[in-house]
């Protein structure tokens, strides 16, 4: 298993994207909030979580110092 070192801001961003996605899905399946509000907020959080997944992955996995792209540049 390889170790992955992340700075605190990058780690926070990755965690926040996962939290937004999970919380949005949780709202969509819950039934304690009125449906119109729950659906609007849930879909917004899912969209934010999904849209920020790729930038979070690039920050976490795409910026390694031993990457061939960075060594060639």
* Distance from C-alpha of 51 to C-alpha of 64, rounded to nearest angstrom: 22
pLDDT (tens, 9 = 90+) of the chain, 73 residues, equals 778 788 888 889 889 999 999 999 998 898 888 888 889 999 999 999 999 988 888 888 875 555 444 434 3
Other C-beta atoms closer than 10 Å to the C-beta of 58 total 10
What local confidence, expressed as pLDDT, does residue 44 receive? 92
- Residue 63 is predicted with a pLDDT of 56
Task: List Cα–Cα distances, 46 to 25, 63, 65, 67, 69, in angstroms.
Answer: 6, 26, 32, 31, 32
């Amino acid at each position: 298993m390889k170790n992955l070192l992340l700075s605190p801001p990058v780690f926070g961003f990755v965690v926040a994207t996962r939290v937004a996605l999970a919380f949005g899905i949780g709202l969509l399946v819950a039934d304690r909030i009125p449906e119109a509000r729950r659906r609007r907020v849930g879909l917004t959080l899912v969209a934010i979580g999904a849209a920020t997944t790729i930038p979070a992955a690039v920050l976490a996995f795409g910026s390694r110092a031993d990457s061939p792209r960075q060594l060639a540049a």
